[in-house]
Structure 1
């Protein structure tokens, strides 16, 4: 159970070869905001927390280490396949898609209507992570069929 100050208790974590570039790109392309960015003595990102509405992702450099023995966070190490994808609820799918496209997101699925409601699209970021954005809100959807 989440504590009283928790906004969302599930926080996806992604690794990037260039975490510095990823922080900037995710904010520009997808509209994330920097919550906290921690850097080493050389000024390189070692951990970043980015927010979108009431949710957060954490990113950092994928440089192996103990955690790297458990997971494969770089799509290029998995033959271009992703080990997880993220779905983010947005109000205006087409405007969000235009923003992501302008920043260089690779379109996987162009904006379209979904059979279960809403519109969505899917893209890859510069390091190959798969992202989906849509107007369908499963929290608001009816649970009856």
Structure 2
């Protein structure tokens, strides 16, 4: 499980004295713990633990990428570099991401399976894509690829 990998990485980072990595991993654990608390109080159906962790990690990466853009526009390169370092740590815990070619192949297969023929069918294709490949895809990029595929 990804949680176990995160715990082991924290111990390793602490033993090696890598303060930046230790801080980033503690932040990851804190965010996951907050999400656990939110889910406990919400009346949602329980999901797969790894899926929950992947969702949290992807959200953290998205937030940091937005921060990097803002810091670079504001001329604060040292803060952008710190955010980039955190992104690298967080990405280390995500499952292997699909390449663009693999993504396009998966989209083509789903489009054929669902029988999608226009952009109106995008919701159905995205639902199946998310169900099967959410952990291996950046869904915002996949959305653009699906739209391009259905617009042909």
TM-score between the two structures when normalised by the length of structure 1: 0.26
TM-score between the two structures when normalised by the length of structure 2: 0.25
- Please state which structure has a larger fraction of its residues in helix: 2
From the CA coordinates, give the structure whose radius of gyration is larger: 2
- Please state which structure has a larger fraction of its residues in strand: 1
